[in-house]
Amino acid sequence: MNFLIQNLIKIRQAPHFKTFMIIFLLLAGCFAWISNKIYSHYYIQTEDAYVNANVVRIAPRVTGKVTQVYVSNNQYVKKGDALFDLDPESFQVALDEANAQLAVSKAELDKTSMIQQRTLALVKRKFLSQQDGDNVIANYKTALAKVAQAKARLEQAQLNLTYTKVLAPISGQISNMSLRAGDMVAINQALFALISDDLFWVDANFKETEMAAIKPGQSARIVTDLYPDHVFHGVVESISGSSGTAFSLLPAQNASGNWIKVAQRIPVRIRILNPNQNTPLRIGISAAATVHLS
């Protein structure tokens, strides 16, 4: 140890040591500057990036009382899985009434059809007037319309009954759910969210001075704070038509005497190409995005 210290002291006392150190530092600085220039020519990086995904708001298509809930908050479900049921009793009654109304309408149509045939035969033989013929034709058309309306009501009643069983429209994770059996829910009332598991992207905010080089279709590398050792591959999908502050609640007002120019950020959407269940992504987590400019 003493030998090493003595040698270091001798090196520092050498006549050209300071000159050598100055040259070394200058060369190191030049190398770092050149490396940064080369890197920035091919890559642009930002740490102002956040993961996002498709979110489906689950809402019933009819009003009713919840009788059964099959899922819980944060649970993963597959497309077509049962989410919850509504009380089907009133919808079954409406379906029975629609079936009965269709039967009545069909019976009326059959009767009107027979009357039309007989009346038109008598009109043809001049036993009845043309007006009588026109009247039975009009009655037949009215009966046809009633049957069509009754069929439409029946189809709607059948649909409403199927709507009492709410299924997952996509595969993904349940979020923000507090639904319980016994709750009364209204048509189109958003009850909870379902986060898609097959489409994730990063909203990366780049400086406006960097945007001239970024184009849709360029490849990208994404590293999240959640999985710092895992690389997600992506592609630039689209570029926003405005800066991130343009549509904020209180947009910047630059028409003042003490205005200071600040570089704006432009949101760039980068689709993640390789999401997987071993490294499940979460909406809103931070990420670093690097776009390959070639």
End-to-end CA distance of the chain: 51
CA-nearest of 51, 155, 40 to 102 is 155
The architecture (CATH level 2) of 44-54+198-250+257-292 comes to Beta Barrel (2.40)
CB-based contacts of 220: which residues, under 8 Å, 6+ apart? 202, 204, 233, 234, 235, 236, 270, 289, 290, 291, 292
Domain map (residue ranges) of the chain? 44-54+198-250+257-292, 89-163
Highest mean pLDDT among 38-42, 98-102, 131-135: 98-102
d(CA 168, CA 84): 9
User: What is this structure's pTM?
Assistant: 0.73
Given a contact cutoff of 8 angstroms between Cβ atoms, the answer to whether 252 and 245 are in contact is yes
Residue 33: what pLDDT? Answer: 55
- Mean pLDDT for the stretch of residues 100-117: 95
Given a contact cutoff of 8 angstroms between Cβ atoms, the answer to whether 81 and 172 are in contact is no
Residue 175: what pLDDT? Answer: 93
Which amino acid makes up residue 165?
K
Task: Please give the structure tokens belonging to residue 224.
Answer: 């999240």
Quick one: pLDDT band at residue 8, thresholds 50, 70, 90?
A: very low
pLDDT over threshold 90, residue 211: no
β-pairing verdict for 265-272 and 172-175: unpaired
pLDDT in tens, 146-194: 999 999 999 999 999 999 999 999 999 999 999 999 999 999 999 999 9
Q: H or E element: which one contains 67?
A: strand 64-69
CATH number of this structure's domain 89-163: 1.10.287.470
pLDDT over threshold 60, residue 49: yes
CA-nearest of 170, 159, 160, 177 to 84 is 177
The β-bridge partners of 69 are 84
